[in-house]
């Protein structure tokens, strides 16, 4: 990050942004967090609120491939710059995905080893067998399903955040000529490409898009007034609005709602069925709802049935 003129702005930032600065600057300013570091979690509850332990299901555990569970853990690729879904709290992974992933591990009788990584490198990392699965707020879409399997577990849309009072008058249906920040590799990048094509096609000025490696850097860009708005998943925008103590607000309703999916290697077979079965067990037992409630995720995004995509 730049020094000098932003020091006063940094002093006014809320706690969530300061945590993000620690992560981003710790990666040499790349905004990718401490890429390559890992942290294991054996029980949910890294944040406030105890969601309790979950019982192992022997039948589902037996479906996990031997080469995956032989070391007693599943290596999970994750970009921990996306609160409240995944972030770093006191040096440890935390968030909705971390708690849900940990609970899945409990059902399957394995520990989840959450590896912090750059978002746009995670799916290739699954293909290269660097990670045994990925759980990092990945929306399920046709492009991703060409190379991986995805197991649904929550639905989220895209939301727009602006400075309090919307001083620049941003509208969801007209961002032409505005400065908008977004995280690299997300579905929001594609969304802005489409919006930009519409702007220039109508003879309007293009959107000034700033792509940053970490979502915490995107939040910082807006609170520091380097951009006029940001696009991100609806739970992330909702959380940012709550944590900025009145500095930000959302504009309009979430759009393009789609399910999140846990990423597995293509043609995952019984492995995919084990993950899907574990999620369904958590939904049916009520543990899933407890995790949603703990992190303040909108109940409208909850799924009642986890599915394997593509269908097996």
SS3 286: coil
Residues 103, 245, single domain; the answer is: no
- Does some domain include residue 133? yes
CB-based contacts of 87, cutoff 8 Å, min separation 6: 19, 20, 23, 80, 81, 93, 94, 95, 216
Q: Give the per-residue pLDDT at 287.
A: 96
- Interval 107-120 mean pLDDT: 96
Q: pLDDT-based confidence at 255, cuts 50/70/90?
A: very high
| pLDDT of residue 309 exceeding 50 | yes
pLDDT score, position 23: 30
141 and 101, same structural domain?
yes
CATH of the domain at 210: 3.40.190.10
User: Do residues 286 and 215 share a domain?
Assistant: no
- Do 131 and 268 reside in the same domain of the chain? yes
Is residue 35 one of the residues assigned to a domain?
no
**Full residue range of the structural domain in which residue 246 is found:** 158-256
**Within-domain flag for 70:** yes
pLDDT tens digit sequence for 223-237:
999 999 999 999 999
Tell me, what's the pLDDT at 54? 87
- In sequence order, the 6+-apart residues with CB closer than 8 A to the CB of 11 are none
One domain, residues 184 and 133: no
For the stretch 172-230, pLDDT in tens is: 999 999 999 999 999 999 999 999 999 999 999 999 999 999 999 999 999 999 999 99
Task: Kindly state whether residues 68 and 207 are assigned to the same domain.
Answer: no
Same domain, 247 and 269: no
Strand positions, DSSP E, the chain: 38-41, 73-78, 81-82, 86-89, 92-94, 111-116, 133-134, 148-163, 179-183, 208-212, 229-233, 248-265, 308-309
> Within a domain: residue 95?
yes
Assigned domain for 44 exists: no
Of residues 1 and 277, the one with the higher pLDDT is 277
Q: Which residue has the tokens 């049916």?
A: 284
Q: Is 219 in the same domain as 294?
A: no
Please state the domain count of the chain. Answer: 2
Does residue 230 share a domain with residue 272? no
Same domain for 136 and 276, yes or no, is yes
């Amino acid at each position: 990050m730049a020094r000098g003129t932003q020091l006063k702005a940094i002093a006014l930032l809320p706690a969530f942004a300061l945590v993000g600065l620690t992560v981003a600057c710790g990666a040499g300013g790349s905004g990718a967090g401490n890429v390559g570091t890992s942290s294991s979690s054996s029980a949910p509850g890294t944040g406030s609120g105890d969601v309790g332990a979950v019982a192992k299901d022997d039948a589902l555990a037996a479906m996990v491939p031997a080469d995956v569970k032989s070391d007693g853990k599943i290596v999970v690729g994750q970009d921990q710059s996306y609160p409240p879904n995944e972030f770093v709290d006191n040096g440890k992974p935390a968030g909705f995905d971390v708690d849900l992933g940990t609970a899945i591990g409990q059902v399957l009788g394995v520990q989840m080893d959450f590896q912090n990584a750059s978002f746009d490198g995670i799916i290739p990392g699954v293909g290269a067998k660097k990670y045994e699965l990925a759980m990092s707020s990945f929306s399920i879409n046709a492009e991703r399903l060409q190379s991986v399997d995805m197991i649904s577990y929550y639905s989220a849309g895209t939301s727009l955040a602006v400075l309090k009072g919307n001083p620049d008058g941003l509208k969801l249906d007209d961002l032409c000529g505005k400065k908008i920040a977004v995280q690299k590799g997300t579905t929001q990048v594609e969304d802005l490409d489409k919006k930009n094509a519409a702007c220039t096609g109508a003879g309007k000025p293009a959107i000034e898009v700033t792509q940053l490696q970490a979502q915490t850097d995107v939040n910082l860009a807006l609170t520091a007034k380097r951009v006029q708005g940001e696009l991100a998943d609806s739970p992330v925008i909702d959380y940012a609005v709550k944590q900025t103590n009145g500095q930000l607000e959302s504009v309009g309703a979430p759009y393009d709602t789609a399910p999140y999916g846990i990423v597995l290697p293509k043609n995952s077979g019984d492995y995919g069925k084990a993950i899907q079965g574990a999620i369904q067990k958590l939904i049916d037992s009520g543990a899933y709802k407890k995790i949603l409630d703990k992190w303040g995720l909108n109940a409208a995004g909850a799924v009642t049935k986890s599915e394997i995509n593509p269908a097996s």
